[in-house]
């Protein structure tokens, strides 16, 4: 059974990238926002692609690749490997023996780090007014100190492993 067009709603999509802005002389994040309308039949898909077989095949392969990447990421039979850099700056892979944090625990840890950084280390939107780079460094320092404090507690680490 194919979903009907009325069952599929338009979806807002966005593309974000970081670029260097010559006017502000700093890295900025820019975003484009648009709409995506799902198709409800293969005929609609082919029509929207103007019967362009090359483009259709490219989209199918892009989707298949994204699906395969998702399957690989969740496949517990395939071990994660640690990406390291050799003396020449080339990436190498080594067995990963650490403990990965789940997405849920990572989100919780990040929220806790932010709260501790604000409460104990003075993290604020403007820590160094007028100096963007120094402000970024101060914010990163406050977050780093908060993370180090949290991870210095063995009970916190054990709770994150659960």
Tens digits of residue pLDDT in 107-158: 999 999 999 999 999 999 889 888 888 999 999 999 999 999 999 999 999 9
The string of pLDDT tens digits covering residues 38-77 is: 999 999 999 999 999 999 999 999 999 999 999 999 998 9
> What number is the average pLDDT over the span 77-105?
90
Q: C-alpha angle with apex 101: 96 to 103, nearest 5 degrees?
A: 125
Domain span holding position 45: 5-74
Look at residue 89 and tell me if it is in a domain.
no
* Inside any domain, residue 80: no
Domain annotation covers residue 30:
yes
In this predicted structure, what is the pLDDT of residue 5? 45
Residue 104 covered by a domain: yes
- Give 14's strand partners: 33
In this structure, the answer to whether residues 18 and 61 fall within a common structural domain is yes
Nearest to residue 26, comparing CAs of 142, 135, 114? Answer: 135
Supply the angle between the helices 103-121 and 132-151 in degrees, to the nearest 10. 110
Q: Is residue 125 part of a domain?
A: yes
Domains held by the chain: number = 2
């Amino acid at each position: 059974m194919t979903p009907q067009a009325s069952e599929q709603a338009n979806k807002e999509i966005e593309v974000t990238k970081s670029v260097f802005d010559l006017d502000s002389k700093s890295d900025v994040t820019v975003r484009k926002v648009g709409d995506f309308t799902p198709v409800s039949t293969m005929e609609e898909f082919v029509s929207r692609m103007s019967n362009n077989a090359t483009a259709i095949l490219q989209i199918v392969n892009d989707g298949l690749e994204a699906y395969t990447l998702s399957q690989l990421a969740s496949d517990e039979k395939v071990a994660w490997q640690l990406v390291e850099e050799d003396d020449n700056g080339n990436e190498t892979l080594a067995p990963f023996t650490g403990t990965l944090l789940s997405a849920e625990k990572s989100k919780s840890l990040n929220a806790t780090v932010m709260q501790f950084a604000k409460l104990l280390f003075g993290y604020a939107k403007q820590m160094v007014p007028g100096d963007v780079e120094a402000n970024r460094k101060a914010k990163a320092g406050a977050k780093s100190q908060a993370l180090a404090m949290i991870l210095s507690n063995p009970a916190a680490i054990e709770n994150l492993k659960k």
